[in-house]
Structure 1
């Protein structure tokens, strides 16, 4: 991959987690780790869970920096024992901070999806990626210091890789801490989950979200409430929406839904053609995601009797309320959402033309709106 291509553990348009100075909105998780550290009950395996983009990787790198830069507690010495640390913060000028930023810290190994023999990024973490840790443990054992392993994301391990990692969790090397980042912990082997202590991270509130976005250098949109509604507390999702024009795409999608049950086919066709443009693969993926979001919010509107707030697009509440005014309609939208998701993924698998796939999806939505009247 080129230098400007995001790595598998980096959100496009955002700094790499090892370069992220602050973590916002996750004090509970940080303090849980510190309590374990200060009570000398530091588990060898930690599972960092929560939605994508809420800071799991940033926390993992903060923990790694802290463990590698903090000397072990002793029994006093000449000046007495140091007070227990109250934060994971490590000075950016600390040698460990510099080495981690440069990717040159010998006590740290980061496992992500690797490149195959053709130089393409694999779709999963393979067993060879995990086996590399054997060499890492051997090389770094002589100094007697701590060692930290970050696996991002553990959900992406294939069966062989997962079994190889499980053996390390069952018989962990001395003074080693394994940090497993997981967006969907249910996909992990139960035996891996049972051998790790879990830190659960939550979606960010509005103030923490804004502070985190400022840190990424993203240009904040004027419609901050629309971004907050679509990102649902995920900084990673917010950055993606900003960089790919997600607010504009969703606003156009809602405007097209506003023409139902007699859908404006010209606008739908224009939306589909935009998704099929050369180099628009990421925007196509985002459009499919936003269609799923719109259908979910439609179902929620009918089930609860009120549109979700804040609005994610102009006039969204009025349009959702008109199209989904009862629990019966909510069920119809929930069912079509499941059908559309399956059809879209199948269409991608067989390389169906993106424009045809989007149009097919919009016609299915139009058909459902007629049934829901």
Structure 2
């Protein structure tokens, strides 16, 4: 086995881990739905938390876990009666359960996520069945205290088929007083039988106001004026907004917009500068972000033409005017949609076969020029 210390697979670089995040913003409806089920005695054993990546699904799962583990089971025969129903999922950070959850030492909690490969030198690409089998040991050890037990699966999308079938069996025959929380970014890809055995909590994109507060909590230093653009480009995802911040995404989008905005003449010098900025060792993340942002820009061009007006919020200065000029009518909008799809497929194929990044980016822009 390797002595390499592996990163946590469910932690976004530059952000607090979801278990360390004190508050959840913009998802009050999902919290209220769970609390209603709890207070009315309809606490299902399996819950699927769905929505775009980075909008707070894992943070909500950890909030629910702390809440359940810190809230005693009610004895129906207690002569003093049941306590008043809780009004929030909030648990004081000074609560012993909160301390144990933060330290990953809470005996009533099991976190199922990707583990190391057989060599132990890196993380496995998926959650394997041997990780799920550890649940049996967890249930046997935690059964003695008779309290609640919570399992967080982050994320269910990463379960391989054997692991998914093992989770399905637990959902079909859940241990007593156990709640299983499955985080899923793409629930349609999961086994239909898993989906059918879970209640769903849907989380949506954050508003610019919620994004501002959430980024402040993540200790991301963002100018208030940048919050609307970050919300637009991240599509309301805090996780994606942090990636944009870490990689200079707002400036990168502005540079991409300037290149396309120079059409029909095309600013070749600026295009080559962008291409060179994605070349070289350690620039892979920037290249991936550029491809994502080009996809977003061309999608915004297509929508501008088809709908007859640019998006309500600009993602960069002067964007609305550029979009309106380049995509003035539905026919042009449909042309952008077709052209963008072909160029994106070509670029991602080139990325997969390790074409030189500078050549890849140059070719992408030349494809969009046609």
> Counterparts of 1:12-27 in structure 2 under 5 Å?
12-27=13-28
Partner of 2:137: 135
CA contact (8 A) 1:340 1:361 kept: yes
Partner of 1:48: 49
Q: Distance in 2 between matches of 1:252 and 1:277?
A: 19
Q: 1:91 to 1:80 in 2, by over 3 A?
A: same
> Counterparts of 1:124-163 in structure 2 under 5 Å?
124-163=126-165
Is 1:57 the counterpart of 2:27? The answer is no
Q: Distance in 2 between matches of 1:356 and 1:251?
A: 21
> Counterparts of 1:221-370 in structure 2 under 5 Å?
221=223, 222-367=225-370
Partner of 2:184: 182
Local SS of the residue matching 2:169: helix
Q: 1:169 to 1:75 in 2, by over 3 A?
A: closer
Partner of 2:32: 31
Which is worse superposed, 258-267 or 244-253?
258-267
Local SS of the residue matching 1:351: coil
Taking only aligned residues, the RMSD between alpha carbons, in angstroms, comes to 1.7
Q: Distance in 2 between matches of 1:193 and 1:247?
A: 37
Local SS of the residue matching 1:296: helix
> Counterparts of 1:64-79 in structure 2 under 5 Å?
64-75=65-76, 77=78, 79=80
- TM-score computed with the length of structure 1 as normaliser: 0.94
Q: Distance in 2 between matches of 1:340 and 1:178?
A: 42
CA contact (8 A) 2:298 2:337 kept: yes
Q: 1:140 to 1:276 in 2, by over 3 A?
A: same
Q: Distance in 2 between matches of 1:111 and 1:273?
A: 41
Local SS of the residue matching 1:223: helix
Q: 1:327 to 1:239 in 2, by over 3 A?
A: same
Q: Distance in 2 between matches of 1:125 and 1:326?
A: 47
**Structure 1 runs of 4+ with >4 Å offset:** none
Residue 155 of structure 1, CA deviation: 1.2
CA contact (8 A) 1:298 1:330 kept: yes
Local SS of the residue matching 1:294: helix
Q: 1:6 to 1:255 in 2, by over 3 A?
A: farther
**Residue ranges of structure 2 left out of the alignment (5+ in a row):** none
Q: Distance in 2 between matches of 1:256 and 1:219?
A: 28
Q: 1:62 to 1:303 in 2, by over 3 A?
A: same
Local SS of the residue matching 2:296: helix
Which is worse superposed, 151-160 or 53-62?
151-160
CA contact (8 A) 1:262 1:366 kept: no
Count how many residue pairs are aligned between Structure 1 and Structure 2: 366
CA contact (8 A) 1:275 1:355 kept: yes
Local SS of the residue matching 1:199: strand
Partner of 1:370: none
Q: Distance in 1 between matches of 2:105 and 2:227?
A: 39
Residue 223 of structure 1, CA deviation: 2.8
- TM-score computed with the length of structure 2 as normaliser: 0.94
**Residue ranges of structure 1 left out of the alignment (5+ in a row):** 368-373
Local SS of the residue matching 1:174: coil
Residue 360 of structure 1, CA deviation: 1.6
